[in-house]
Amino acid sequence: MSDDLPMGWELVGFPEVVFFQEGPGLRKYQYRESGIPFLNIRTFVDERIDKKLCNYLDAEEVEQKYKHFLVDANDILVATSGSIGKMAIAKSQDLPLMLNTSIMRFRPITEERLERGFLYFFLKSNHFFAQAESAWTGTAQKNMGPSHVKTFSILLPPLNEQRRIVDKLDRIGDRQRSARNELNHIPKLIARYKQAVLAAACSGKLTEDWRVKQNLDDSWHTTTLGEIIIDKPKNGYSAKPVQFETPFRVLTLTATTSGKFNPEHFKYFEEPIEEKSQFWLQPNDILIQRGNTIEYVGVPAIYDGLPNQFIFPDLMIRLRAKENVTTQFLYFVLSSENSRQYLRDRATGTAGSMPKINQPTLISLPIELPPLEEQKEIVRRVEKMFEKIDRMEEEYQQAAKLCDRLEQATLAKAFRGELVPQDPDDEPASVLLEQVKRERSKGKIKIKK
């Protein structure tokens, strides 16, 4: 035992006190419309399991081949690929439920020696993440498996101290969850506030006072997107990506899903594109996602990069505004909820396929168009209001990060033995371990396989 550990603590290998198991590798041809649901990373929502996001296996196939991968109530479930460390706790109402590859379950071999709650908090701590980080394999996506976890260690206090730590962390966690719940309302409020601003901007309400001061009549008129853009909308280029660097770069959908252009999201491709090709993006081009999940179909973004640096992909449509329409005003119109809903309602696609919008749908989008000078005033006002909203969002992000740091600081204190008082009368962890070894050697402890 290290002299650095608190009194009565031991540093123990995971396999000595923890049962862990990863799910099997499943293939899409096994998926069914009903049966036994199985986990994936998307099903973990706020440490709960959202079964609506599960796929299914045939119940008979599970009984014959995968019965030992069925989840038990109170299993601690952890993602081991991509979003490593994302967690959920299996509840009795979630069952039946099955593991999947990239999902691992943990539980104490015996709760008479290791508190389940203590294990849960350890799996949330940087003590676990530091070991996971050193074990990660893969470059594009991080992965770890049981062969890595069996080399991990866990800090083990006396059993009574484990219980005191869990009780204290539970009480602190309740306060932290309340704070997070309050914070979690803020992004939705910000999104609603922005949409309210856009609704006022696109209806003329935002600049009513401006028109009065300018002594202008209500000169807005109804038109369609097709009437205020240059030429027809253009679908992007279907490029075959390569793994090596070339002079040709095509954007990925993630380059614009935020509603803003991100130059870091692209892939290289090999086939040459002429310098005068219509597929090269130019500053102030507006990109529309014509195919994606329904949430992102129709999302617009303004390309503000350099000319002839990127090709736009087949799942995007490019628009260019006429001279009597400012690009930024058109972007705000396309970002408004009315426009987004219009396009979502008309997206096509069969069950299981990607929703898409086509060019005829896009050019039919109705638009209320003010004179050019009022467009400029609308853009100025919206940008000014958005600056204030964005500052609110930055403050929210800082508060969320502070919550994360506070949680990890509390866990670090717990695993230094500083969160709760130590009792010299507590049975040391070394005694617990000897008992576990004796009981396992006698077959008194059965580990589910």
CATH of the domain at 70: 3.90.220.20
Residues 362 and 225 in one domain: yes
- Domain holding 50, by residue range, is 14-158
Residues 24 and 108 in one domain: yes
Q: What band does 272 get if pLDDT is binned at 50, 70 and 90?
A: confident
Q: Identify the pLDDT of residue 124.
A: 93
If you ran DSSP here, which 8-state letter would residue 96 be given? S
Could you please report the per-residue DSSP string of 372-434? HHHHHHHHHHHHHHHHHHHHHHHHHHHHHHHHHHHHHHHHHHHTTT-SS---TTSPPHHHHHH
CA angle 176, 177, 183 (to 5 degrees): 95
Domain boundary at 351, 369, 387, which?
369
If you ran DSSP here, which 8-state letter would residue 28 be given? G
Q: Identify the pLDDT of residue 138.
A: 59
Q: Identify the pLDDT of residue 177.
A: 82
Residues 120 and 246 in one domain: no
Q: What band does 327 get if pLDDT is binned at 50, 70 and 90?
A: very high
Residue 318 lies in a domain: yes
**pTM of the predicted model as reported, rounded to 2 decimal places:** 0.68
User: Which residues are 1's β-sheet partners?
Assistant: none
User: Is residue 362 scored above 90 in pLDDT?
Assistant: yes
| pLDDT tens digits along 82-94 | 777 789 999 999 9
| pLDDT tens digits along 147-191 | 999 999 999 999 999 999 999 999 998 888 888 888 888 888 999
Quick one: average pLDDT of 403-423?
91
Residues 152 and 234 in one domain: no
C-alpha span between 327 and 329 (Å, rounded): 6
Quick one: average pLDDT of 362-379?
96
Q: Which residues contact 378 (CB under 8 A, 6 or more apart)?
A: 201, 206, 207, 329, 332, 370
Domain boundary at 140, 158, 176, which?
158
User: Is residue 447 scored above 80 in pLDDT?
Assistant: no
Mean per-residue pLDDT of the chain: 90
User: Is residue 439 scored above 80 in pLDDT?
Assistant: no
Quick one: average pLDDT of 348-373?
88
Q: Identify the pLDDT of residue 1.
A: 41
Residue 178 lies in a domain: no
| pLDDT tens digits along 204-231 | 999 999 998 888 777 899 999 999 999 8
Residue 30 lies in a domain: yes
Structurally, the chain folds into a number of domains equal to: 2
